[in-house]
Structures are given as structure tokens and as C-alpha cells.
Amino acid sequence: MRPAVPSLVALAAMLASTEALAQDADTFNFAGGVFDHQGSLQLAHPHLGQPSGFYAGLGLVYADDPLVLRYSNDTEESVVKGQFSTRLQGGYTLHERVRLDLELPVYPSVRVGDSSGYTSNFALGPIRLGALIPLLAYEETGVGVGLAPYIAIPTGQRAKDAYVSNGFSAGLAATVGGDTGKLGWRANLGLDLGAKNAVDTGNTAIEELEIGSSLRWGLGANYDVIEELLVGAELTSQIDMASGLGPWNANPMEAHLYGTYGGEEGVQGTLGFGTGIIAGVGAPDFRIVAAVGYRKPGGPADTDGDGLTDDVDGCPTEAEDMDAFEDTDGCPDLDNDQDGVLDAADSCPLEPEDMDAYEDVDGCPEPDNDQDGLLDADDRCPVKPGPKETQGCPDNDSDGVANLDDECPDEPGPVNTKGCPDRDSDRVPDKRDQCPDEPIDPRADPRRSNGCPTKVVVTKEKIEILEKVYFDVNKATIKPVSYGILDDVAQVLLDNPDITKIEVAGHTDSDGNDDSNLRLSQSRVESVVKYLAGKGVDESRLVPKGYGETQPIAPNDTRDNKAKNRRVEFVILEQDSGDGVKVVPNP
């Protein structure tokens, strides 16, 4: 009778050499997340955890009937009845960019299904080196994406019929996952690469069975019952690339339920139960898993290596300069005092340069540039030493007038003559005083005087005359005795063209009719204007105005007082300030 041929071949993601080698019946691998508090069992999760975190653990796995052949006559042959293994696990997170994982399976016992009931000897599985590389940052309430590559390196330590691979394999999976508070989830899709291999069972009926590279996928979710306890479920499957997809039920599928107890740091344990949903290589009737490990989460990343973790570092990619100035914000302060001189060249990095065009390149403020004891802020001459009395400016003749303001810096003189000598103290300096020993009238403006006494005094508001202007009785005719004083007025006006507008005001006493007095005063000042114009004064500068008896300066009760009220005044209406602006003197 012809031997029955298997109608359903279990598929696995594994690699052996190009020779016919014993096949790995164990397709279960702990994910690093079992020990790294990520809630997963076999599936990779895109969250790394904190940098410098590590875990170490021991896993225990028992699989019942992980490799069973089913024939077309509905009979079965158990190739591997039971397989027990331990897993030494470890992992370390580098700079929040990658986590490295290590797994070493140890198989102390495998029950095979031959007639003798042989139990294999001790065997070491391939060393599995993996990594988790995030591509999209994971947040506690967001989604992360990453890659999980691995390479399996055979140890060469296996016993007969151990069904443990001793060939190289490699793989890459994409992982996406997230955490919405108490609920976490993840999905994996990957490829395991390996050469085609025949399963060596001693049964000639399956000599043509080939397995090798495979696709694998998985879905998982977990829920935090309490802070320390989570429960989860995962569904995983493999599709053999050697024999093709085949029907949907030709690809092994396995489901697991599990729980993990432990905190963010310290010892934690996991216990789980699984079963094959669709039979195939590595999909057992049931599987029991347990794991215990220690986890230390590490601290937040310090990308720039300045000793301040990124969560408190204002500039996580720029190292703090640690110069005892605002070193807790994580940002380099290249110019601590913000004076424009970088600290590397700043002799006083914590004191801003005063930038006063005096030794500004050293970065140190010079509060008293000329070292005269007067701070620059109060020093009118900050780079030239001088006494306090002259606000820090030099005073060569020690007269209390700084050289800056002294028109005679080497000759002492009073302030009111800008430091120039004034023998007669009339405020006209000797250098332009034509009568240095004869003081002028104290009412006179010294700026408009030649220093000699005169009958015409120019003040700020008026041109005052020390003699009266006489007219014929009840007439506008100027008496010759007054020509001299009017000539002096004309000369003053010619000497002071900045006085641009003068009111020639006429006043009378109260004798006579008011209207007659008003007309008489107007006629008389018009005569004065005509006389001054005849002496060369521009008539447009002169404004004749008769006031009659309306503005007396004394009571009209005596002859002397009436004489005082009969007068001519020259009132300055407008002056040129020197920059084209017309100035009206204060009354």
C-alpha cells in the first residue's frame, strides 16, 4: 500500500543551511516589550522607553505538539510531542533612538514522536540579536511607527532530533502602535529570510517537504486593569514563501492571552496561555509561557550631552556652555552679558561693556574712562580728566569754567563772561569791552553792548533810552535836542538786525481831550519812525503806535508825574533766533 502523503504542511519563519538540516519547531520569541513594560508578548512595539533604560529576564515556554503531520487518510503523526525551552533575555536603549535586544533560547527537553519515545539532549538555540528603531515619535496618547530588524546566529550546539535550527536567519518587521491611556495596541508585518530546508524526521513520506523564508504578521492589544497589572491578547501568523500562500487555512496561526504584573521599575512577571488556531509548524495544541525580569527605565534623553535631560533642556540639540551663568536652561549663552563681545573674548563676561568708544573690545565696562573720580555718566568729558567743579572737564585756568565752555581757557574769568576777564564786572568781557574800566548800565544786554556806557540800553524786551524825546508843544515836531538820542537808537537798530520788529509807542499825559491826545501821540511816533528811517533803518521794522493817555506809568497829579507819562518807548516785538525762527520776547 502506498504511504499516505501529508495534505497540510505547517509553515514557519526560519533559516537553516543549504544542506538538509534539522528544522526549528519553535516559532515563539519573546518581544522585548514583555520585560520593558510595553504590554506586548511576541509583537514589537514602536515605543522605546527612556534612554539608558535596560531590562534583563528569564522566559519559560512549553509547547504541546508544535509539529504534527496530518495525512490525506485523516491520520496524524506527532513529530514533536512537546518542547520545553528557557529564554535568556536582555535589552538596552541608546539615546532614545534605538533599543538593542538579545535572546538566547535553551532547550533542556524535547519529546519526539518516534517509537522509542526518545527525549532529546540539551540544545542551544540560535542567538537572536534584534533592534527597535522608531521612525515616528511615540507619545503617550499618540501613535508610533518603527522598524524591528533581527539576525539569528546559530550556536552549533544541538542534539539529535532537537528540532532546533542551526542556520543563519534574518528578518525585518514594521510595527505601528499606540497608547490611549489604559488601552494599548500594536500591529506587525514582517519578512523572515532563510534558505529552503527539508524537515528531517526519518519519515520518507515527507522527504519532499521544504520550508524557508516566510511572511509574518500579528495584531495585539493590552489593557491596564490597575497601574501594576495589565492583560493582553495577541494573534500571530506565518506564511511560508517556499510553498506559496495556498488556501487560507494552510498558514499556521496562533493566539495568546496573558497578564503582566509589575511597576515602571523593578521586578515584573508575565504569565500566558496560547493555542494554535490554524495548524502548522510551530502552532501547538497549546502553549504555556512565563517570564520574570528586572527593568530599569533610565532617565530622559540628553541629546546634546550637556547633563540636562531633554525634558528640561530649552535647547536639547545645543549643549549648555556651563559657565556659571544661567546653566539650568540648557541653552548656551555665548554672550552672557549681551554686550556684543562673545564670552570667549570677553574679559568681563558677566559685566556688559559700556560701548562708549573707549576700549570697547575687551568686554569690560569702564565706568570712569579718564580716571578722574567722576563716573562717565556724570562726566561731560569722560575721556579727559577734570575736576568735579567743571563736571569732569579740564579747566586750565582753574576759574571754574571748563575749557569746553571757556572762551579764554588760559585766563581766569567769571562764568557770566564765559571764563574771560572782566575788569569792570559789567558782563562784557575785556577782549571786546571798548571801555574795560567803565561798566555799562546793568539793565543792558551785554551781548549787544560794546562795553561802553550809553544812553540807549538794549534789554530782552525793549530798547530803553535814558533821555526823553522832546517835541514842540502840541505838535509832532521833534526838537533838535533829541536828535542825538534818536541817532543812538538808529545805530542800535542798525547794529542789531536780528531785532526784526520794533513798536515805536507814543504816550501823553491826561491834559487835553482824549481823542486829541491819541492823535497827537500817533503823529509824534510817526515822526520818530520817519527820522529813524532817514538814518538808514528799514521802515518795515518799525511799527508806530500811539496810545494817548491810556497807559500812564504814574498818576497824572503833578507836573513831574505828567512829564513821566509823556514818553516814547521802543518795544521789541520780534527777533530772529538765528535759524530763521521769529521769536516774540516774553512781556
For residue 193, the model assigns a pLDDT of 87
Q: What is the mean pLDDT of residues 76-89?
A: 81
Share of the chain above pLDDT 70, in %: 81
> Binning pLDDT at 50, 70 and 90, where does residue 141 land?
low
Beta-ladder partners of 491: none
How remote is the C-alpha of 458 from its chain's centroid? Answer: 66
> Binning pLDDT at 50, 70 and 90, where does residue 68 land?
low
| pLDDT 10s digits, 87-123 | 999 998 887 689 899 999 988 876 666 545 545 567 7
Q: What is the mean pLDDT of residues 290-314?
A: 83
Closest C-alpha among 90, 59, 63 to residue 78? 63
Per DSSP bridges, beta strands 253-262 and 127-136 are: unpaired
Closest C-alpha among 100, 156, 87 to residue 126? 156
User: Domain extents for the chain?
Assistant: 6-296, 455-587
* Residues 6+ away with beta carbon under 8 Å from 507: 521, 547, 548, 549, 551, 552, 553, 565, 566, 567, 568, 569
For residue 543, the model assigns a pLDDT of 97
For residue 493, the model assigns a pLDDT of 95
Residue 583 has pLDDT above 60, yes or no: no
> How many CB atoms lie under 10 A from the CB of residue 203?
16
SS3 at position 428: coil
| pLDDT 10s digits, 510-567 | 998 999 999 999 999 999 999 999 999 999 999 999 999 999 999 999 999 999 999 9
Its CATH class, for the domain covering 455-587, is alpha beta
Minimum mean pLDDT range among 128-142, 215-229, 373-387, 441-455: 128-142
492 vs 511: CA distance, rounded Å? 33
> What DSSP line would sit under 21-77, residue for residue?
-----------GGGTTTSS-SSS--S---STT-EEEEEEEEEEEEEEEEEETTS-EE
409 vs 98: CA distance, rounded Å? 80
> What DSSP line would sit under 497-531, residue for residue?
TTEEEEEEEEE--SSS-HHHHHHHHHHHHHHHHHH
| pLDDT 10s digits, 14-47 | 323 333 333 456 788 899 888 877 788 999 988 8
For residue 158, the model assigns a pLDDT of 54
> Binning pLDDT at 50, 70 and 90, where does residue 289 land?
very high
Q: What is the mean pLDDT of residues 319-332?
A: 84
Closest C-alpha among 252, 241, 315, 244 to residue 278? 252
Q: Round the average pLDDT of the chain to a whole number and report it.
A: 82
For residue 206, the model assigns a pLDDT of 45
Looking at CATH, the fold of the domain delimited by 6-296 is given as: Porin (2.40.160)
SS3 at position 469: coil
> What DSSP line would sit under 317-368, residue for residue?
TS----SSSSTTS----TTTT-SSS-GGG-SSTTS----SSSSTTS----TT
103 vs 150: CA distance, rounded Å? 11
For residue 64, the model assigns a pLDDT of 86
